[in-house]
Copies of this chain bind each other. A is one copy, B any other.
Amino acid sequence: MLNTLIVGATGYAGAELALYLNRHPHMNITGLTVSAQSADAGKLLSDLHPQLKGIVDLPVLPLENVAEAAKGVDVVFLATAHEVSHDLAPQFLAAGCIVFDLSGAFRVKDPAFYTQFYGFEHQHQDWLDKAVYGLAEWQADKLKEAQLIAVPGCYPTAAQLAIKPLLEKDLLNQDQWPVINATSGVSGAGRKASLGTSFCEVSLHAYGVFNHRHHPEISTHLGTPVIFTPHLGSFPRGILATVTCRLKPGVSAEQVAEAFQSAYANKPLVRLYDKGMPALKSVVGLPFCDIGYAVQGEHVIIVAAEDNLLKGASAQAVQCLNLRFGFPETTSLV
């Protein structure tokens, strides 16, 4: 059994993590914490998220001292804001913990991105260098030795799982950038009061056009420029990403199909569609990314659907945990 601590357990991703880890046969939750300033400190997780009542009734304690909190802990999950993860991760790592960070704080190697897209100066180039980006289907080997796993963002997971098989097989025309249109549920904005996410204000619209912080994460890890347009949808959970790419001249629909099949044949958390396109409801509440695609002439359209809180956050974090420690990949997930 590995002892584990969830930091930032009160958010939507944190609550999902608690649910997965609570039933994980090899994990023992030794603590749930939240910022000492939070009004939620001291409450039961199941008072904040009543769906967990009778399932995970642990208290959420204020995180006052990292060294203290890290004692006896093997694995730490950080479901915290980017700046908070940036500060906490090195401390838990120094204490010998394996850290799974669900924020964006260690996802891209170039610290300049943090200045430009996240609004803070990154202080930990060493950990940026050592962090393993946890896009699980593509990083299984690197994960085995990782100390710090930067779990990918919700949009980047869907976008990269959709595009990477074609890029790896060199089927895409590089003159034309992939166009990624994605729509996310409101939980992607986190659990907090804000006018923009209040019930009566939410409505389908594009946002962060040309300047969303997931843009550099996607293009850096794909190694190719993309056009990424995120949208907010009127639903609590899920992401649907529709990607339009241009194939190299002469590439056939069969080659496209073969690229997807070879990429995901043995990947239990990616479900390939051999006909039709995935719908959001097929993945909400589930740890999968569902992918469909269609080819016409030199054009290919790929649709990827996932639960932004699960395959786009907590389920992928647990998937990375499983790969890191050699547990079966879907343990506690399916």
Contact of A301 among B54, B202, B227, B235 (CB under 8 A): B227
- Give the distance in Å from the alpha carbon of A228 to the alpha carbon of B123 in the complex: 45
Query: Which of A55, A280, A285 gathers most chain B CB within 10 Å?
Result: A280
Contact, CB under 8 Å: A204 / B54: no
| Segment with Cβ contacts to B, from A24-32, A89-97, A161-169, A179-187 | A179-187
Interface residues of A in 186-205 (CB under 8 A from B): 186-187, 191-195, 197-205
Contact, CB under 8 Å: A200 / B191: yes
Give A40 Cβ to nearest chain B Cβ, in Å: 10
Interface 0/1 of A263-288, CB less than 8 Å to B: 00000100100000111111101101
- Give the distance in Å from the alpha carbon of A274 to the alpha carbon of B94 in the complex: 43
Contact, CB under 8 Å: B204 / A202: no
Chain B residues with CB under 8 A of A299: 177, 210, 227
Knowing A53-B271, A54-B268, A282-B50 are in contact, say whether A240-B204 is a contact too (CB < 8 A).
yes
Tallying the copies of this chain within the complex gives: 4
Contact, CB under 8 Å: A236 / B199: yes
A296 CB–B CB distance under 8 Å? yes
Name the CB-closest residue of B to A50.
Answer: B282
Interface residues of A in 205-221 (CB under 8 A from B): 205-207, 209-210
Query: Which of A191, A205, A280 gathers most chain B CB within 10 Å?
Result: A205
Chain B residues with CB under 8 A of A204: 183, 233, 235, 238, 240, 279-280
- Give the distance in Å from the alpha carbon of A177 to the alpha carbon of B245 in the complex: 11
Contact, CB under 8 Å: A301 / B206: yes
Contact, CB under 8 Å: B240 / A210: no
Query: Which of A238, A268, A299 gathers most chain B CB within 10 Å?
Result: A299
Chain B residues with CB under 8 A of A186: 198-200
A75 CB–B CB distance under 8 Å? no
Contact, CB under 8 Å: B183 / A278: no
Give A63 Cβ to nearest chain B Cβ, in Å: 21
A234 CB–B CB distance under 8 Å? yes
A114 CB–B CB distance under 8 Å? no
Chain B residues with CB under 8 A of A51: 281-283, 285-286
- Give the distance in Å from the alpha carbon of A301 to the alpha carbon of B194 in the complex: 27
Contact, CB under 8 Å: B288 / A54: yes
A12 CB–B CB distance under 8 Å? yes
Query: Which of A176, A197, A203, A299 gathers most chain B CB within 10 Å?
Result: A203
Contact, CB under 8 Å: B271 / A205: no
Contact, CB under 8 Å: B53 / A242: no
Give A73 Cβ to nearest chain B Cβ, in Å: 27
Chain B residues with CB under 8 A of A50: 278-279, 282, 290
Knowing A54-B271, A195-B191, A296-B210 are in contact, say whether A203-B242 is a contact too (CB < 8 A).
no
